[in-house]
């Protein structure tokens, strides 16, 4: 039996009310992402990329249309269930890393497990394994401000994958990095795909990222333009 697609968007609309004007950030978006896909979403600023990512990450709800995550219609779920689903199934990587500055890299990674049902005893092991996968086990006890940008983003990736999600959502993961360090992060993405059937959806401006992906979808003025 064929698996359900990890993400299935049907006629998705997202409108924002800005005063009297209604901004249509997403219009009639249809998108299917299979397990193990590596998709980049490209488009100019304000085209609706981030809005799409927030809906995919269950941080926002669509105005109309449906979103099935791994076969589950998430529009019908309560906020609480969406939080639990987010904790287990989805990992986030942000442009500005969002690491907590006062705790070590290891603790930052471990933070990715605390809202899951993972037993406490197992979390340390998971956090170390995640750091190893991004090649930063030797930096476990460093505080984020003492690390380079590339290292910080890899710690953030480790945090995103520590709970073993099926979907990794990345918002401009290389946007704050130079080309060289950016490519070390992309290398990590490539390795992750080889060692698991992690699905990657990456929003980016960076053509290098697009080149590494299986396919790229373009968004312009809220409409999806498939190439």
Partner 1 sequence: MFFDLISEARTGLLTRPGRTALTVLGTVLGVAALVATLGIAKSAGNQIVGRFDELAATSVVVTSTLGNDQVLTLLPWDSEQRITRLNGVAAAGTITPVATGGALTAAVPIHDPRGQAEFQLPVFAVSPGLFAAARTQLLTGRTFDAGHSQRQDNVAVLGPGAARRLNVTYIDRLPVIFVGDQAFVVIGILEQVGRTPDLADAVVIPEGTAQHIYQLEAPTTVQIDVEIGAATLIAEQAPIALAPNTPQDLRVLKPAEPTQLRADVADDVNVLFLILGGVALLVGAIGIANVTLVSVLERTGEIGLRRALGATKYAITAQFLLESATMGFMGGIIGTSIGIAVVAVVATTRTWTPVIDPWIPLAAPIVGTLTGLVAGAYPAIRAAGLEPVAALHNA
Q: Which residues touch 121 (CB under 8 Å, ≥6 apart)? A: none
> Which one of the spans 22-30, 51-59, 188-196, 212-220 is the region binding partner 1 (CB under 8 A)?
51-59
**Residue 116 is a binding residue for partner 1 (CB under 8 A):** yes
Taking CB under 8 A as the criterion, the residue among 17, 21, 45, 80 binding partner 1 is: 80
Rounded CA gap, 69 and 85, in Å? 9
Taking CB under 8 A as the criterion, the residue among 24, 68, 88, 218 binding partner 1 is: 88
Structure-block tokens of residue 9: 């968007």
Would you say 111 or 137 has its CB closer to partner 1?
Answer: 111
> Which one of the spans 40-48, 89-97, 129-137, 194-202 is the region binding partner 1 (CB under 8 A)?
89-97
**Residue 176 is a binding residue for partner 1 (CB under 8 A):** no
Taking CB under 8 A as the criterion, the residue among 34, 60, 70, 129 binding partner 1 is: 60
Nearest CA to 192 out of 162, 149, 147 is that of: 162
**Residue 193 is a binding residue for partner 1 (CB under 8 A):** no
Can you list the positions of beta strands (E) in 79-140?
Answer: 90-93
**Residue 138 is a binding residue for partner 1 (CB under 8 A):** no
Can you list the positions of beta strands (E) in the chain?
Answer: 7-18, 21-33, 38-42, 64-69, 72-73, 90-93, 167-171, 199-204, 215-220, 223-226
CB 38 within 8 A of CB 216: no
H-helix or E-strand containing 126? helix 120-133
Q: Strand 64-69 vs strand 167-171: parallel, antiparallel, or unpaired?
A: unpaired
> Which one of the spans 109-117, 180-188, 208-216, 218-226 is the region binding partner 1 (CB under 8 A)?
109-117
Taking CB under 8 A as the criterion, the residue among 22, 83, 190, 225 binding partner 1 is: 83
CB of 179 to partner 1, least distance (A): 25
Binding site for partner 1 (CB under 8 A): 50, 54, 57, 59-60, 79-80, 83-88, 90, 92, 94, 96, 98, 100, 102-103, 107, 111-112, 114-116, 120, 159
């Amino acid at each position: 039996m064929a698996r359900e697609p990890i993400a299935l968007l049907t006629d998705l609309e997202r409108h924002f009310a800005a005063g009297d004007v209604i901004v249509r950030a997403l219009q009639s978006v249809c998108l299917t992402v299979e397990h193990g896909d590596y998709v980049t979403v490209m488009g100019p600023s304000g085209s609706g990329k981030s809005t799409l990512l927030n809906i995919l990450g269950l941080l926002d709800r669509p105005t109309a249309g449906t979103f099935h995550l791994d076969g589950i219609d998430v529009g019908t779920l309560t906020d609480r269930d969406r939080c639990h689903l987010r904790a287990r199934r989805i990992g986030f990587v942000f442009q500005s890393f969002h690491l907590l500055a006062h705790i070590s890299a290891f603790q930052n990674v471990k933070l990715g497990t605390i809202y899951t049902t993972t037993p406490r005893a197992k979390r340390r092991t998971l956090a170390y394994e995640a750091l190893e996968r991004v090649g930063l086990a030797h930096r476990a006890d460093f505080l984020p401000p003492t690390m380079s940008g590339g290292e910080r983003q890899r710690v953030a990736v480790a945090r995103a994958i520590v709970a073993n999600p099926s979907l990794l959502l990345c918002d401009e993961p290389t946007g704050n990095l130079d080309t060289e360090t950016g490519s070390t992060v992309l290398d990590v993405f490539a390795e992750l795909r080889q060692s698991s059937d992690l699905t990657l959806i990456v929003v980016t401006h960076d053509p290098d990222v697009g080149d590494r992906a299986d396919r790229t979808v373009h968004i312009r003025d809220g409409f999806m333009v498939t190439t």
